[in-house]
């Protein structure tokens, strides 16, 4: 990921021509084989060249990425899983961050919010299969790419088979492997796939002999796999090749995985989200790989794309996550996702489906606190992006289209299946059903194309529409038409409209088709069904043409229902109306005892179809009653489109609603939305307490216990340019702010201090001579900065002075290249000097960061939550801090001089039960685009660092405070660190808690996460 994607693409284009070979030369190899590929350690998860099987059932593994560590409120994990399941998805992929689990070498701490057992339980309850990705390297836009900071001190090359690195990794792999193994499907859990390592594909020097991946240590990859197998992993290993080169594909030798997978980010990952309507960026997927690329690398395994673009990150000074959402939007999902479907991808994971939050300094330096990335589910868990609904249409389609999994893609064609070269059509050719993926030749076009489509059917080749007129594709859209598509016992001979779902019941079969606004569509079924009758007001044309009933219809803004003989119904929807349809699997009949329950694509009476607005989570039937669980954000008319029973009672979230029976067993009712009055405290009117948090500037400050900077060497890739190392990681400090104190005795010639510091993109530093402010670097895109600070007056010989240097640590660099050592990039002081004093040894340095460094104190919040600011070292950010004797001062009064202040207050909340009410903290005193103040704020809620605000860079000024971290029914402790970089000081204006939405919800209310409270630390 990151900004390396431009380089990757350039390198890939050098290699691509040898792989993008003619489809016809390889299609003949793709013939049906007998299921049976397995790991030899189990036979529950198997695969062939088409798909995986779980318990003998073919599964389209349509998945979204969710990171448990980015939502440290385990009680909310089920909510996210249920929202993914409601999309029709079958899976979730997740990373584990080593740096949070083993912050102290040799000490694995996978408890509390870092435990995974509740994550596994929630996945099983929601009916979601899991792909586990434990690393050890994960990238993921986290500090160090997931590596703990202490790895930077190791002598061996990281991500290699160097014994020093492998020994450092062994404890983590054996521990996390054991944890995951207990949650495998073979043990009754949801984990069906495991990915060892991550994107181990790409070298820093791709011009070396052997090329782009000559640096890969195959022995290391094999060692990681062996460690996971030894820890009990028996399910298949899946890879994700960052560049599609076939690295570690099955049969490739040492380190080969069971199933080969690759990554693709058409609009790049780490680029700009500015001007989101501009699609002339990145690389179209087909310029990177196609179906024949897959066949060349791994013809006997399913086509897997382990990461595909589901969002885009935004850097410090960027345009904000809403712009990224507008870039990777519903239109992107229609066009670019269907490019992959045209290759018959059967394992597909969208990165991200829910991004979450870079709380507690866990992010890397090119990203801010929010990791929303414009994903389908927002950081605050709301479903207000149209992309969610579009993905729901796609997910539900594949849930009922198992024939897709055994098709063979042909080359994309121009003017073969259509009458215009302005469209490209790819045929997915199955032994029965055929799928036609249609898109514009110029995928950036906003124009409308009219066309005819020729399809191959059991009744011969047919050009549609047969009843006159033309089909149309409007702008950035793509469609999947079908022929000979089985709907239970009915053959849908063809349809130009897309399929949402179909379900079979004892007395009737329901098919749901949809189209875009102002479109005309046509379908055909066998003539034995006869022309349909319709619901009132439906306008359609029907003709018998040979052995077919051909129906043409215009998309309307309300549903249209056609009734055929034999209990066959077709519901015709506008796409935006289809967004409101929910396909809810009923609980598997007892005593099945399998979790997650089988997908059951073809079962009779296995689902309920509900039209219901914001969210429907699940359904169950007891006797003559239908129980629905879901969410609404307005008074909502629900309609039970189909169910195994005609319910006499409907209960929504446990409350019975009044119902009316319509024709043909459809039931409707109204759910009243009754929003409560939510009273949030006015933060400006609370009593705030303040204490200076830079006492180091005062005379006589006791810095006993700080780390003396006396290491003459480093294992960092940057050679020392100081007599002793001033790299923070060499002394065990890997996150948060760093504070250095340099003491010297003057000769009388010193006139200025020269500093070169490095903290990562967006970092800042401030420098004081004793208590006198010398100046600041206020931050920018650079990860390092050089600055000279003149001294305010001339020194006399023999004076003792202290330089205090405060540096903002923005996280460790990632380590994307397989042979790179980027996470070793130092944080701290790179070089320094006293103008007029040539001897650098005149300055003796000490440094501090979070209390204890790697021997961190607060195990409940992990090794990265705290930094080196004095109030953090004292533990004053924790609930129960002794604030009563502090000065009364609010953040709006701020600081009148440069420095660091610590502000704290308490407030109560009483959010009523039955409502999901996302809450954010907003800082709104100035726009970063024209900011006149230069300051930084850390936000601590009940001890958890849930925000880093940089006023002069932005863009983030709203910080999500998730329920469970925020006490929704009790007292909360809010604390802020205010670091003023300006000579005149700074203030924090317009600080407010705000409600993001009021959802009347059937979610399971999360419990309050218990974290450590304040106790006296006694550190300076």
Residue 488: phi, psi to the nearest 5?
A: 65, -125
Parallel, antiparallel, or unpaired for β 828-835 and 752-758?
antiparallel
Tokens 């003709």 found at: 543
User: In the numeric block, which tokens belong to residue 49?
Assistant: 């060249």
DSSP assigned state of 100: H
Distance from chain centroid for Cα 274: 20
Burial 131-153 (b: 16+ CB within 10 A, else e): bbbbbbbbbbbbbbbbbbbbbbb
Closest CA to 991 of 921, 932, 889, 903: 921
Neighbours of 522 (CB within 10 A): 24
Q: To 5 degrees, how large is the angle CA 598–CA 603–CA 608?
A: 90
Helix or strand run (H / E) with residue 649: strand 649-652
The verdict on whether 307 is a catalytic residue reads yes
Which candidate in 307, 390, 522, 866 is catalytic? 307
- Determine contact, residues 356/379, Cβ cutoff 8 Å: yes
Q: Which residues of 579-603 are buried (b: 16+ CB within 10 A; e: fewer)?
A: bbbbbbbbebeeeeeebbbbbeeee
d(CA 527, CA 341): 31
768/790 Cα distance (integer angstroms) = 11
8 A C-beta contact, residue 316 and residue 761? yes
Dmax over Cα atoms in the chain, in whole Å?
108
Instruction: Report CA 177 to chain centroid distance, whole Å.
Output: 22
Phi, psi of 1007 (to 5 degrees): -80, 160
The number of C-alpha atoms within 13 Å of 37 and in the hemisphere containing its C-beta is 18
Helix and strand tally (H, E) in the chain? 13, 57
Helices (H), 231-357: 291-297, 321-327, 330-341
**Backbone phi, then psi, for 637, in 5-degree steps?**
-85, 120
Structure tokens at 910: 């009483």
Angle at 671 between CA 665 and CA 675, to 5 degrees: 170
Return d(Cα 98, Cα 523) in angstroms, integer. Answer: 53
User: Which residue out of 65, 102, 197, 199 is catalytically annotated?
Assistant: 199
Is the Cβ–Cβ distance between 983 and 773 less than 8 Å? yes
Q: What residue has token string 């009843």? A: 467
Q: Which of 804, 805, 821 is nearest to 813 (CA)?
A: 821
Distance in angstroms (rounded) separating the CA atoms of residues 224 and 239: 12
At residue 749, the 3 state secondary structure works out as coil
Q: Can 887 be counted among the known catalytic residues?
A: no
Would you say 964 and 76 are in contact if contact means Cβ atoms under 8 Å apart? Answer: yes
Asked whether the beta carbons of 365 and 810 are under 8 A apart, the reply is yes
C-alpha to C-alpha distance for 470 and 118, rounded to whole angstroms: 53
Residue 308, preceding peptide bond in cis (omega within 30° of 0): no
From the list 225, 127, 241, the residue with the least C-alpha distance to 177 is 225
Q: Which of 121, 233, 238 is nearest to 188 (CA)?
A: 121
3-state helix/strand/coil string of 926-952? CCHHHCCCCEEEEEEECCEEEEEEECC
| CA-closest candidate to residue 113, choices 87, 161, 76, 60 | 76
* Catalytic machinery residues: 199, 307
């Amino acid at each position: 990921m990151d900004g390396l994607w431009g380089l990757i693409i350039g390198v890939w284009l050098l290699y691509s021509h040898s792989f993008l070979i003619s489809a016809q030369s390889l299609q003949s190899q793709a013939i049906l084989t007998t299921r049976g590929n397995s790991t030899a350690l189990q036979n529950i998860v198997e695969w062939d060249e088409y798909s995986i099987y779980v318990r003998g059932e073919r599964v389209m593994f349509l998945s979204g990425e969710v990171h448990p560590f980015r939502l440290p409120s385990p009680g909310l994990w089920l909510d996210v899983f249920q929202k993914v399941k409601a999309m029709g998805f079958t899976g979730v992929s997740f990373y584990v961050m080593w740096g949070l689990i083993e912050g102290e070498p040799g000490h694995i701490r996978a408890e509390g919010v870092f435990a995974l057992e509740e994550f596994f339980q929630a996945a099983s309850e929601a009916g979601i299969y899991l792909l586990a990705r434990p690393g050890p390297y994960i990238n993921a836009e986290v500090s160090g790419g997931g590596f703990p900071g202490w790895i930077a001190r190791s002598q061996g090359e990281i991500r290699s088979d160097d014994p020093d690195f492998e020994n450092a990794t062994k404890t983590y792999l054996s521990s996390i492997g054991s944890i995951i193994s207990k949650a495998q499907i073979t043990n009754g859990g949801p984990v069906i796939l495991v990915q060892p390592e991550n994107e181990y594909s790409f070298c820093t020097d791709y011009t070396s002999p052997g090329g782009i991946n000559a640096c890969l240590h195959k022995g290391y990859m094999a060692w990681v796999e062996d460690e996971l197998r030894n820890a009990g992993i028996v399910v298949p290993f899946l890879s994700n090749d960052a560049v599609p080169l076939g690295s570690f594909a099955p049969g490739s030798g040492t380190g080969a995985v069971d199933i080969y997978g690759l990554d693709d980010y058409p609009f790049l990952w780490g680029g700009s989200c500015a001007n989101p309507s501009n699609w002339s960026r990145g690389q179209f997927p087909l310029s990177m790989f196609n179906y024949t690329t897959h066949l060349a690398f791994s013809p006997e395994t399913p086509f897997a794309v382990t990461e595909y673009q589901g969002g885009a990150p935004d850097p410090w000074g960027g345009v904000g996550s809403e712009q990224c959402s507008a870039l990777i939007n519903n239109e992107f999902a229609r066009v670019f996702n269907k490019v992959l479907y045209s290759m018959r991808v059967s394992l597909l994971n969208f990165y991200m489906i829910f991004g979450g939050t870079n709380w507690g300094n866990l992010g890397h330096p090119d990203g801010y606190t929010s990791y929303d990335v414009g994903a389908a589910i927002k950081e605050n868990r709301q479903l207000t992006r149209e992309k969610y609904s579009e993905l729901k249409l796609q997910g539900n389609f594949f849930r009922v289209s198992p024939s897709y999994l055994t098709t063979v893609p042909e080359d994309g064609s121009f003017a073969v299946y259509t009458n215009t070269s302005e469209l490209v059509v790819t045929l997915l050719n199955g032994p029965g059903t055929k799928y036609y993926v249609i898109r514009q030749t110029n995928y950036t076009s906003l124009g409308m194309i009219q066309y005819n489509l020729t399809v191959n059917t059991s009744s011969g080749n047919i050009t549609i529409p047969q009843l006159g007129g033309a089909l149309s594709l409007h702008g950035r859209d793509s469609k999947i038409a079908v022929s000979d598509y089985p709907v239970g016992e009915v053959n849908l001979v063809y349809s130009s409209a897309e399929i949402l779902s179909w379900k079979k019941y004892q007395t009737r079969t329901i098919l749901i088709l949809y189209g875009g606004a102002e479109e005309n569509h046509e379908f055909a079924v066998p003539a034995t069904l006869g022309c349909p009758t319709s619901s009132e007001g439906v306008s359609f044309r029907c003709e018998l043409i040979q052995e077919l009933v051909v129906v043409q219809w215009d998309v309307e803004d309300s549903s249209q229902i056609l009734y055929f003989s034999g209990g066959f119904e077709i519901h015709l929807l506008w796409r935006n109306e289809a967004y409101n349809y929910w396909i809810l699997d009923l609980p598997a009949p007892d005593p099945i005892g399998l979790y997650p329950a089988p997908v059951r694509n073809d079962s009779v009476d296995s689902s309920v179809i509900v039209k219901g607005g914001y969210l429907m989570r699940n359904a169950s039937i007891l006797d003559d009653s239908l129980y629905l669980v879901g969410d609404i954000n307005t008074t909502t008319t629900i309609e039970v489109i189909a169910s195994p029973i005609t319910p006499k009672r409907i209960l929504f979230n446990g409350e019975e609603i009044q119902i009316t029976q319509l024709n043909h067993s459809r039931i409707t009712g109204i759910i009243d939305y009754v929003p409560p009055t939510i009273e949030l405290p006015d933060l400006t009117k609370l009593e705030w307490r303040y204490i200076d948090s830079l006492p180091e500037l005062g005379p006589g400050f006791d810095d006993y216990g700080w780390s003396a900077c006396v290491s003459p060497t480093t294992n960092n890739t940057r050679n020392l340019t100081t007599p002793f190392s001033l790299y923070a990681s060499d002394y065990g400090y890997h996150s948060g702010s760093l504070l250095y104190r340099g003491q010297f005795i003057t000769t009388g010639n010193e006139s200025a201090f020269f500093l070169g510091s490095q903290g990562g993109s967006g970092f800042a530093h401030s420098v004081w001579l004793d208590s006198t402010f010398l100046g600041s670097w206020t931050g920018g895109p650079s990860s390092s900065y050089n600055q000279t600070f003149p001294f305010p007056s001339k020194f006399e010989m023999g004076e003792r002075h202290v330089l205090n240097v405060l540096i903002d640590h923005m996280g460790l660099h990632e380590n994307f290249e397989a042979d790179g050592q980027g996470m070793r990039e130092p944080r701290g002081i790179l070089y320094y000097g006293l103008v007029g004093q040539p001897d650098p040894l005149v300055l003796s340095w000490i440094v501090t960061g979070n209390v204890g460094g790697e021997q961190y104190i607060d195990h409940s919040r992990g090794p990265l939550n705290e930094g080196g600011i004095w109030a953090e070292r004292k533990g004053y950010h924790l609930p129960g801090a002794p604030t009563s004797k502090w000065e009364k001062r609010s953040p709006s009064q701020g600081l009148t001089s440069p420095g660091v202040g610590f502000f704290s207050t308490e407030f109560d909340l009483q959010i009523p039960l039955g409502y999901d009410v996302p809450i954010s903290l907003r800082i709104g005193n100035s726009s970063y685009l024209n900011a006149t103040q230069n300051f930084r704020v850390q936000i601590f809620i009940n001890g958890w660092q849930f925000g880093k605000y940089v006023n002069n860079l932005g863009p983030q000024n709203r910080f999500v405070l998730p329920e469970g971290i925020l006490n929704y029914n009790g007292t909360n402790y809010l604390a802020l660190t205010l670091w003023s970089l300006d000579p005149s000081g700074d203030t924090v204006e317009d600080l407010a808690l705000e409600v993001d939405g009021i959802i009347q919800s059937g979610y399971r209310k999360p419990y309050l996460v218990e974290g450590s409270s304040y106790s006296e630390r006694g550190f300076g």
